[in-house]
Amino acid sequence: MSKILVTGGAGFIGAHLVKELLARGDEVVIVDDFNNRYDPKLKEARVSELLPDFPTDVLIREDVSDAEAMAKVFANHKFDAVVHLAAWAAVQRSIDEPLTYSNANINGTIVMLEEARKHNVKNFVFASSSSVYGGREEMPLSETDDVSKPISPYAATKVAGEALCATWNYLYDLPISAVRFFTVYGPWGRPEMALFKFTEAIEEGRTIEMRGSETKRDFTFIDDIVQGLLGAIDNPPAGYEIYNLGNQDAVPLPRFIKAIEAALDKKATITDVPLPPGDVPQTLADISKAKERLGYKPTTSIEEGVKKFVSWYQDWYLPNFRK
């Protein structure tokens, strides 16, 4: 049994991860500030529904960039591993509020790395993103590719986070895995993500905006991401390593929309709009490194995963959240 700090544990990926960690007998402390980037009621609901018995004294409602508050957390607990997921996600909003993003994503990461090295933590996992690859056109995207040209402030904060991880590993020998998630989706997902917005709009009979009919995304189902994260937690590297966690299937938007239509049994009305600045045209992960070193093995097709999301949306979200 390990004692694991999960920052962002009330978030989409975090809550699913904590559920699995508890199920296998690990002890978990959560730090999450329940900020209002999207409806905090959904974060509260993830905790009450996915983690119903989670003890309130280790559900710490603080900001990861608050150095004093984080020093207290590390003084009160001896962690075997830190999984740092807390961040402001979403590309478009980062263009409007770059400073909010840099504070949470860059300063917050420095605070966590500092506390981890001061307390001699032997295992640090950092949530990075496929967005670090920027507008790169050659596919698949591999961990050794250049990431020096991010195209949104959000992506730039993730490139910075990785650079900080490399630095803390160099200075203090802190073992760190940076995991680059590729468009994660599934039940309890974030309301501003395409799957959520498209499902809502189709269900309500509104027109959906298809941002670039040529756009392709390597959508990765939440259960597969959690399996990859557990692999990273269980296999701390000797130094600093980066892993792509994708599904190795570049899904064109029309196929994605078809999967939602099939799951809802309802036709979409679609209008084509150009890809907005900041959004990357395509992603496709080379996952051979994570397969080999972490035992990562994604198994969920977009059609199956969308069906599971839509079932959750109809059975839980609509009855509880529809205004």
Ligand X SMILES: NC(=O)c1ccc[n+]([C@@H]2O[C@H](COP(=O)([O-])OP(=O)(O)OC[C@H]3O[C@@H](n4cnc5c(N)ncnc54)[C@H](O)[C@@H]3O)[C@@H](O)[C@H]2O)c1
> Which residues does the annotation mark as catalytic?
154
- Residue type at position 163: A
| Residue from 87, 195, 229, 310 in contact with ligand X (CB under 6 A) | 87
Angle between helices 153-172 and 108-118 (to 10 degrees): 20
By CB under 6 A, the residues from 33 to 52 that bind ligand X are 33-35, 43
Rounded CA separation 144/167 (Å)? 17
Nearer to ligand X, 173 or 248 (CB): 248
| Residue from 101, 181, 256, 313 in contact with ligand X (CB under 6 A) | 181
Residue 85 found at the interface with ligand X (CB under 6 A): yes
Nearer to ligand X, 95 or 173 (CB): 95
| Residue from 6, 45, 70, 104 in contact with ligand X (CB under 6 A) | 104
Residue 183 found at the interface with ligand X (CB under 6 A): yes
- Residue type at position 202: I
Taking the complex as a whole, the smallest distance from the CB of residue 153 to ligand X amounts, in Å, to: 12
Residue 64 found at the interface with ligand X (CB under 6 A): yes
CB 29 within 8 A of CB 61: no
**How many residues lie near ligand X (CB under 6 A)?**
28
Taking the complex as a whole, the smallest distance from the CB of residue 224 to ligand X amounts, in Å, to: 12
Rounded CA separation 280/286 (Å)? 17
Note the residue count of the chain.
323
Residue 198 found at the interface with ligand X (CB under 6 A): no
- Residue type at position 319: P
The interface region with ligand X, picked from 28-36, 142-150, 250-258, 276-284 by CB under 6 A, is 28-36
Nearer to ligand X, 207 or 218 (CB): 218
CB 255 within 8 A of CB 249: no
Which residue is it, tokens 């993830």?
A: 46
The per-residue DSSP string of 45-98 comes to HHHHHHSTT--GGGEE---TT-HHHHHHHHHH---SEEEE------HHHHHH-H
Residues near ligand X, by CB under 6 A: 8, 10-14, 31-35, 43, 63-65, 85-89, 104, 108, 127, 129, 181, 183-184, 190
